[in-house]
Amino acid sequence: MANSSSCQVLVEDPELAEHLQGERLVAARRDTMARCVELPAGPWQPPEDAETLKLGIGLLILRGLVVRHVGVAGRFGAELLGEGDVMCPWQWEDGNSTLPRAGRWRVLQACRIAVLDADFTQRLGRYPEIVSTLFTRSLQRARHVAVNMAIVQQPRIDIRLHMLFWELADRWGTVRQDGVHVPIQITHATLADLVAARRPTVTKALGELAERAAVLWTGEDWLLPGEPPAELLEVGSVAVSANGDSGRHKRPKA
């Protein structure tokens, strides 16, 4: 958590201030300055001995992408975290679990993270509107995990991947004329962890999806030209289509 600076959280994440206006908004921007850190791509070890962090809200991802791996009995699952997500990476390492588990974190795309420590949390208490939004995001993160659990129950790997990309589009996609673009760079190995499959199987399934023009890698991002699979609509997950725009971070472009 070295190489830190300060930042205006409400400026870098304006959705947190959507219920504030006028002088109250001006005051909130001033009172919610936070320490920010930059994390380069690669393995990451969260801090374990910072009591001021444990007494605060956690870490808010302002930019970038992180994957969390959790293993039980030699099998690993994965959770993808990105812009707007709140995480407390030291909490689950408390050693109180009945099942022995292993875990690791990796920064997939360089991150900018706001440190919502005890001091920040105390100042934030004056603005319940912001507290409510942060709490909602924590609930949304739990929802994303539940949806991913439903996705991995699909018997076909190509359907799992197609559903996963639309779930990611719902979180971070951008609607354009040619479809929905998902601006994340992710390896086939990480995708395999996210859909509970083996990497060679994922590579083959991605090739099949590309042949059907369902999921395409453009060289910069993932493109979803068509509509989401019916299976994902049935679980009530997707809120964005190639013909519309919705969700937390999406912005339509001509």
Question: Per-residue DSSP letters for 150-181?
Answer: HHTTSS-HHHHHHHHHHHHHHHH-EEETTEEE
Length of the chain equals 254
Q: Is the pLDDT of residue 101 over 70?
A: no
The domains of the chain are located at 4-150, 155-234
CB 149 within 8 A of CB 196: no
Please report which confidence band the pLDDT of residue 123 belongs to, taking 50, 70 and 90 as the band edges. very high
Q: How far is CA 32 from CA 13, 17, 131, 172, 182, in A?
A: 11, 11, 11, 25, 30
pLDDT recorded at residue 231 = 64
Q: How far apart are CA 160 and CA 28, in angstroms?
A: 42
Q: How far is CA 99 from CA 6, 73, 96, 166, 178, in A?
A: 39, 9, 9, 32, 46
pLDDT recorded at residue 159 = 94
pLDDT recorded at residue 250 = 46
Tokens of 213: 């023009």
Please report which confidence band the pLDDT of residue 97 belongs to, taking 50, 70 and 90 as the band edges. low
Q: How far apart are CA 65 and CA 79, in angstroms?
A: 11
Please report which confidence band the pLDDT of residue 248 belongs to, taking 50, 70 and 90 as the band edges. very low
Say which CATH topology domain 155-234 has.
Answer: Arc Repressor Mutant, subunit A (1.10.10)
Average confidence score pLDDT of the chain:
84
pLDDT recorded at residue 252 = 37
Same fold, 4-150 and 155-234: no
pTM reported for the whole predicted model: 0.82
Give the pLDDT confidence of 155-203 residue by residue, as tens digits. Answer: 999 999 999 999 999 999 999 999 999 999 899 999 999 999 999 999 9
| Of 61, 54, 59, 8, the residue nearest 31 (C-alpha) | 8
Question: In CATH, what number does 4-150 get?
Answer: 2.60.120.10
Q: How far apart are CA 96 and CA 195, in angstroms?
A: 27
Give the pLDDT confidence of 47-89 residue by residue, as tens digits. Answer: 765 666 778 898 999 999 999 887 666 667 789 999 999 998 8
